[in-house]
Structure 1
Amino acid sequence: MTLCLLLLLWGAWAWQADNLQQLLLSHSGFTLLGITGAIFANATGAGGGVIFIPAFTALSFSEGEAIHTSFLIQCFGMTAGALTWAYHYFTHHKGHSWQGFAPFSIVASITSILGLWASEFFALAAPISLHLSFSIFSITLGAIIIYNTRKSALLTQKEPFQQHGVVDCMVLCFLGFVGGIITAWLSVGVGEIIVIYLMLRGYCAKLSIATGVVVSAITVWAATPLTLGEGSMANFEVLLFAGPGAAIGGLIAKRIALFFSVVKLKLFFAAWIMLTGFVMLFVA
């Protein structure tokens, strides 16, 4: 029933386009981009921008067009992913095993929103260009998680929330704020930072990813006054096809993530964000 309603809403939206037949021929491939981006984003905790920003840069989008379009596509994909991870939490882990999921998601989301809007209010600009900022950010974080995974691969997984939950919430407040600023620049950032911190602290990889997805979803929705406002530079023709694709990818990503072991999931996450960083260096 829900799927039928969504299809009807999309059909009504598409019908408003003056050149729908031409768009179906020229832009339908963006549906696959949306699916792919959302699968990787919601299976690893990295925002969908790790796919969309390199792709849009390769297509010669302006920085503003790439950022705003990426934000809006993630409103579809990260929301679908966040809902599926939240459902997984309520049906399988509502209790001791994922005790930190709710408080971590709440505190990091609040401060991420504050960081994103502080960046806009105080006109904080990225110190270097979009493609270089994105590349350095992705490669550095990927290297950190690979190093830590190799170092701790033989250690027993722990759930340290009861011992260190308050401290971790305080740290996540800071990381959420910084991540929100970075997300305002790159359309990604806060999810990756949250996932890596929680993994380094010894929390379950899947809990870490679920938290990153939820925080990313809330953050991109907080940016909609910018991406849909008067100064919006978003490409709505791309969004028409990539958005629904991202929603589909977000719904199936959790199933993919649950097939991986903890170590493989960490290495996959790290390798993926490093790969996108290196690709960005060459396509820009």
Structure 2
Amino acid sequence: MFRKPWLCLLAIAWMGLLATQTHPFSVVQSYGGFAFLGVVGAVFANATGAGGGVVFVPFFNQLGFAPAAIIATSFAIQCCGMTAGAITWWRYYRHQHVTNPQWKSLPSGLLLTVPASLSGIWLAQYGGTTLPVLAALKGNVDHLHLGFGVFSIVLALAIFASIPLLKRTHFRTFSGRCDTVCLPVVAFLGGIITAWLSVGVGEMVAVYLIIRGFNVTMAIALAVMLSAFSVWAAIAYHVLISEAVVWQVVLFAGAGAIIGGIVAKRVVLAFSPVRLKMFFGAWVLILGASGLPVFNLN
């Protein structure tokens, strides 16, 4: 009921931004195809709990984007798609699962992971500049594809290892002491990796929750919301300091990502978690292998 007016306002705002371009028709011709990329990336991201960077980073690499532009632009697109997905998942939780015992860990899970993730991101982005002893936390953007490849392969193996756990019929209904300690640690480390690669924290937290025996759909919803907070925390650095965002790409891919973020929930509910994880794990493994030097033809 309330979605259409908001979508109309977003469409009007988008057309206004397009009209501010010097040559709008040339911009559409050159960058319009990125809208489809945004849809695909956001559907994967919001249907699995992984960040859209899993799709955007290797694609931008193939297009020859500079490493800094890849990370910055990926974050900017995800601010659109992950936010749309997070709102969609939150509405789903509030309307259908707020009294479901299997979902009651969602708010507490966010309280445990969001501050930790933001701390990790900001420490990696600003810590090295403030304290030279923390310079290593900034990572090496020139080794982006190697880092992305290694992380993606490890993530894919973790996804495959968690697939047998998806067949559970009984799920955990509360976070014990182990989760209270481990979730912030996982989110903090994931935040650091996210600052380097534009992906990490959502994937790591989702896999952890599934392995620990929480409801799979709840784990995906929590990971999407956590990723939304995380990418918004990270984008300020790239807008104000690195200034590497390719805004023409964001104009179209961001619009597509909003659409993908809205429809992704239906994808999750339409397919079994096992099939989603198998498909996504294979996709991540292929993309990760393509980022390794032995497979990278660039």
| Shorter-chain TM-score tier | over 0.9
* SS in structure 2 at match of 1:161: coil
Quote the residue 1:103 is aligned against: 108
**Runs of 4+ residues deviating >3 angstroms:** 281-284
Q: CA deviation at 1:93?
A: 1.0
Bigger mean CA deviation after superposition, 122-131 or 213-222: 122-131
* SS in structure 2 at match of 1:182: helix
Quote the residue 1:279 is aligned against: 290
94, 117, 122: which one aligns with 2:98: 94
Once the two structures are superposed, the pairs formed by residues 45-194 of structure 1 within 5 Å of their partners are: 45-95=49-99, 96-123=101-128, 124-126=137-139, 129-150=143-164, 152=165, 156-162=168-174, 164-194=175-205
Quote the residue 2:218 is aligned against: 207
State how many pairs are aligned: 281
- AA aligned to 2:139 is A
Q: TM-score, length-normalised on structure 1?
A: 0.94
Q: Percent of aligned pairs with the same residue?
A: 41
Tell me if structure 2 keeps the 8 A contact 1:100–1:165: no
Distance in 1, matches of 2:6 and 2:55, equals 27
* SS in structure 2 at match of 1:47: coil
Distance in 2, matches of 1:177 and 1:230, equals 22
Q: TM-score, length-normalised on structure 2?
A: 0.90
Distance in 2, matches of 1:249 and 1:89, equals 19
Q: CA deviation at 1:122?
A: 2.0
Which structure 2 segments of 5+ residues have no match?
A: 129-136
Distance in 2, matches of 1:201 and 1:230, equals 39
Q: CA deviation at 1:243?
A: 0.6
Quote the residue 2:277 is aligned against: 266
Q: Deviations over 1:185-233 (max 9, x none)?
A: 0000000000100011111111111111110000000112212214311
2:46 counterpart of 1:33: no
Distance in 1, matches of 2:184 and 2:72, equals 25
Tell me if structure 1 keeps the 8 A contact 2:77–2:254: yes
Quote the residue 1:249 is aligned against: 260
Q: CA deviation at 1:112?
A: 0.3
- AA aligned to 2:33 is G
Q: CA deviation at 1:236?
A: 0.5
- The change in CA–CA distance for 1:244 and 1:153 in structure 2 (over 3 A counts) is closer
Which structure 1 segments of 5+ residues have no match?
A: none
Distance in 1, matches of 2:191 and 2:115, equals 10
Tell me if structure 2 keeps the 8 A contact 1:33–1:242: yes
Q: Deviations over 1:147-174 (max 9, x none)?
A: 2324x465x3332233x43421321100
Distance in 1, matches of 2:229 and 2:162, equals 28
44, 47, 53: which one aligns with 1:43: 47
Tell me if structure 1 keeps the 8 A contact 2:166–2:216: no
Distance in 2, matches of 1:193 and 1:168, equals 13
- AA aligned to 1:158 is H
- The change in CA–CA distance for 1:268 and 1:203 in structure 2 (over 3 A counts) is farther
Distance in 2, matches of 1:168 and 1:49, equals 26
Distance in 1, matches of 2:21 and 2:239, equals 17
Distance in 1, matches of 2:267 and 2:195, equals 28
Quote the residue 2:22 is aligned against: 18
Give the superposed CA RMSD: 1.6
Q: Deviations over 1:75-107 (max 9, x none)?
A: 000000111111111111112120111111222
- AA aligned to 1:270 is G
Quote the residue 2:134 is aligned against: none
* SS in structure 1 at match of 2:102: coil
